[in-house]
Amino acid sequence: MLQRLNAAAVAATLGLLVAATPLQVRADEPYWQCVTFARMISGIQIFGDAWTWWNQAVDRFRTGRSPETGSVLVFQPHGRMSRGHVAVVSNVLTDRVVKVTHANWGGSRGRVEEDVTVVDVSEAGDWSAVRVWYGPIRDLGTTVYPTYGFIYSAAGQAGRAAVGRDEAAGQP
């Protein structure tokens, strides 16, 4: 419980620091889907709805429950997010707070959002449940989203695929 409160405090502090910096969106940007954008910037060549990425990755990429810069966080289908979501980790701030860059999320339909705060709120500290910064309220959103975990970028993957399979064996 203390870890969850600490993570929330860190996220709130970070939010105050970025609240004065509005999201820069250009009118000439294309309409992005999260999977197309994540595939392009991560280099992870997986296709299909976001929720399918986890099972597709298990035998092809290293997967796990710890964030790494460049990895893709895979959200499970939840509520109105029936196809899941994928977001690329742009910076690891603590073991429970990261920044992601993603597309087509919430109030930014079809747009790319850079360096959005995501906080691990899972009881076990395993990134199985997260809250995501929501710009319109200038705070973490109220929804807790279930996730599958992280798919690590193809760069440096050679020789580590077996480790990913072992880690993923006991996960959803």
What is the identity of the amino acid at 4?
Answer: R
Q: What is the pLDDT of residues 47-63, one digit of tens each?
A: 999 999 999 999 899 99
Confidence at residue 136, expressed as pLDDT on a 0 to 100 scale: 84
Torsion of CA 57, 144, 93, 41, to 10 degrees: 40
> Does residue 56 fall inside a structural domain?
yes
Q: With contact defined as beta carbons under 8 Å apart, do 32 and 110 qualify?
A: yes
* Res. 163 pLDDT band, cuts 50 70 90: very low
Residue 17 confidence (pLDDT) above 60: no
| Choice between 87 and 5, residue whose per-residue pLDDT is larger | 87
> Does residue 103 fall inside a structural domain?
yes
Q: How far apart are CA 77 and CA 147, in angstroms?
A: 9
Confidence at residue 110, expressed as pLDDT on a 0 to 100 scale: 87
Neighbours of 80 (CB within 10 A): 7
pTM: 0.75
Torsion of CA 97, 103, 108, 114, to 10 degrees: 50
Average pLDDT taken over every residue of the chain: 81
Number of domains in the chain: 1
| Choice between 135 and 171, residue whose per-residue pLDDT is larger | 135
Counting residues of the chain whose pLDDT is more than 90, the rounded percentage is: 63
Give which of 52, 48, 53, 40 is closest to 112, Cα–Cα.
40
- What are the tokens at 71? 């990895």
Q: With contact defined as beta carbons under 8 Å apart, do 115 and 128 qualify?
A: no
> Does residue 26 fall inside a structural domain?
no
Q: What is the CATH number of the domain that holds 111?
A: 3.90.1720.10
> Does residue 24 fall inside a structural domain?
no
> Does residue 36 fall inside a structural domain?
yes
- What are the tokens at 70? 């460049």
Q: What is the pLDDT of residues 18-40, one digit of tens each?
A: 433 334 445 566 899 999 999 99
Domain containing residue 49: 2-19+31-168
Which helix (H) or strand (E) segment holds residue 112: the answer is strand 108-120
> Does residue 86 fall inside a structural domain?
yes
Confidence at residue 29, expressed as pLDDT on a 0 to 100 scale: 67
Q: What is the pLDDT of residues 127-153, one digit of tens each?
A: 999 999 988 889 999 999 999 999 998
Q: How far apart are CA 166 and CA 161, in angstroms?
A: 9
> Does residue 25 fall inside a structural domain?
no
- What are the tokens at 8? 């929330």
Q: Can you give the three-state secondary structure of 57-89, one letter per residue?
A: HCCCCCEECCCCCCCEEEECCECCECCCEEEEE
> Does residue 57 fall inside a structural domain?
yes
4 CA to centre of own chain? 18
